[in-house]
């Protein structure tokens, strides 16, 4: 069964095609800068890479290019659309309606449109991708895999905010959490790697990239996570502030005369590592600069401290943990930041092995054999998990 995985953004479409017989990646690519005059198409398959520019005015035209790339006589991997069996879609916000991946129909689309108010930057492009993919590949089953679904197992005391309860009842204002597909993938893989049954596996998962979040996992199920109603809450990120005193918003509005839109842009696009360092949102740049740049060092210190704090908090929430898992671009590759996060946590049962921590981009245990809680690096693969869910759900339809 060949499964196409789609991640549709406001001006881009990423795709990967899997042969689920052996879970091999047949092709991948991206259409970028949609609607910007000159768009870029990148496609890789059969050991070859193709890159070209084109005028792509909208997502429907982008899917025409994807369809042609997948069926190209030279670099394509499908003889015809008949060789494609199902399409899986990354959907950012499923709200409380979707606790697991779901076959997409008109009712699902209508529900996702309702949740667009909670994810105005993400759900509308996701819906565009669903509609365009249905037109490009008619008659195929489509499955939605939701970033929020994994966290729908959180108990109420973990997801409800201490606001007037009517705001939750009427507007569903609550903690939802994101990166759920990544947290679920690394949880399952780490349990398998350590030989622990998933329903007995407790872990703290750290998805660290330009966007960062952590989750407390008990018995393989999310019981808490750092992101909230939106992806702004929680850890320090590339350009997002993470946790702040909410009264800062009112202070900026009243004292500086800032508009809500200006404050929104400040917290989401000008804060985090970029705002603290004044240099970059890229940890690699900051690690290089830190020895001689005080603000670069400060940005990394704040970044690592926030993660250490949440590790302690989640250990308290879980009562016990088998593992702390690092994933995402930073989590998988940044040796110095993993070291800074974990060093000195021996009293909590986490004994870092500096030599083992030198690993980059592959599965490994990075704590000493004597460590009561093991720390692992587990590369994430959200696209593969989306393909697996799509196979499981679409396969039942055939």
Known catalytic residues are 147
What is the DSSP code (8-state) at residue 162?
Answer: S
By CB neighbour count within 10 A (0-12 exposed, 13-18 middle, 19+ buried), where does 74 fall? Answer: exposed
The CA-based diameter of the chain, rounded to the nearest angstrom, is 63
Cα–Cα distance for residue pair 118/92, rounded to 1 Å = 10
Contact between 304 and 343 (Cβ < 8 Å): no
Query: Tokens 């030279």, residue?
Result: 74
- Nearest CA to 353 out of 329, 377, 319 is that of 377
- Nearest CA to 249 out of 232, 266, 235, 271 is that of 266
By three-state DSSP, how is residue 146 classified?
strand
User: What contacts 24+ positions apart, CB below 8 Å, involve 265-271?
Assistant: 267/232, 267/240, 267/241, 268/232, 268/239, 268/240, 269/239, 270/239, 271/239, 271/240, 271/241
Q: How many residues belong to the chain?
A: 398
CB atoms within 10 A of CB 262: 14
Q: Which residues share a beta bridge with 325?
A: 205, 376
CB atoms within 10 A of CB 366: 24
Phi, psi of 216 (to 5 degrees): -95, 125
Cα–Cα distance for residue pair 174/18, rounded to 1 Å = 35
Cα–Cα distance for residue pair 219/322, rounded to 1 Å = 10
The two structure tokens encoding residue 276: 């603290």
Phi, psi of 392 (to 5 degrees): -60, -40
- Cite the DSSP H helix spans in the chain: 59-70, 106-114, 123-136, 156-159, 165-171, 180-194, 247-256, 260-269, 272-277, 283-289, 294-318, 328-333, 335-342, 382-397
- Nearest CA to 30 out of 129, 101, 124 is that of 129
Query: Tokens 């596996």, residue?
Result: 201
């Amino acid at each position: 069964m060949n499964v196409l995985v789609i991640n549709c953004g406001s001006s881009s479409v990423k795709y990967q095609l899997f042969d689920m017989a052996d879970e091999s990646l047949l092709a991948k690519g991206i259409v970028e800068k949609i609607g910007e005059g000159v768009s870029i198409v990148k496609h890789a398959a059969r050991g070859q890479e193709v890159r070209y520019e084109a005028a792509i005015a909208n997502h429907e035209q982008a899917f025409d290019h994807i369809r042609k790339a997948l069926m190209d006589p030279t670099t394509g991997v499908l003889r015809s659309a008949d060789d494609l069996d199902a399409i899986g879609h990354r959907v950012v916000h499923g709200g409380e309606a979707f606790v697991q991946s779901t076959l997409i129909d008109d009712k699902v689309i209508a529900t996702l449109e309702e949740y667009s108010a909670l994810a105005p930057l993400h759900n509308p492009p996701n819906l565009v991708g669903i509609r365009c993919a249905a037109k490009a590949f008619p008659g195929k089953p489509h499955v939605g895999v939701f970033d929020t679904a994994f966290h729908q197992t959180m108990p109420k005391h973990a997801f409800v905010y201490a606001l007037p309860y009517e705001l939750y009842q009427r507007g569903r204002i609550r903690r939802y959490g994101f990166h759920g597909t990544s947290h679920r993938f690394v949880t399952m893989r780490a349990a398998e790697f350590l030989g622990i049954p998933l329903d007995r596996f407790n872990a703290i998962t750290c998805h660290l990239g330009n966007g960062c979040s952590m989750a407390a996992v008990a018995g393989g199920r999310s019981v808490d996570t750092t992101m909230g109603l939106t992806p702004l809450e929680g850890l320090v990120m590339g350009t997002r502030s993470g946790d702040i005193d909410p009264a800062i918003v009112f202070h900026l509005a009243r004292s500086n005369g800032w508009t809500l839109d200006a404050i929104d842009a400040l917290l989401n696009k000008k804060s985090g590592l970029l705002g603290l360092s004044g240099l970059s949102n890229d940890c690699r740049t900051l690690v290089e600069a830190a020895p001689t740049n005080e603000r670069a060092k400060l940005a990394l210190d704040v970044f690592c401290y926030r993660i250490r704090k949440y590790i302690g908090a989640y250990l308290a929430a879980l009562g016990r943990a088998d593992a702390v898992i690092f994933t995402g671009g930073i989590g998988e590759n940044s040796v110095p930041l993993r070291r800074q996060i974990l060093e000195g946590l021996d009293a909590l049962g986490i004994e870092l092995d500096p030599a083992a921590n030198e690993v980059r981009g592959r599965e490994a245990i990075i704590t000493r054999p004597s460590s009561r809680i093991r720390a692992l690096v587990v590369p994430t693969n959200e696209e593969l998990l989306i393909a697996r869910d799509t196979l499981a759900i679409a396969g039942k339809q055939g």
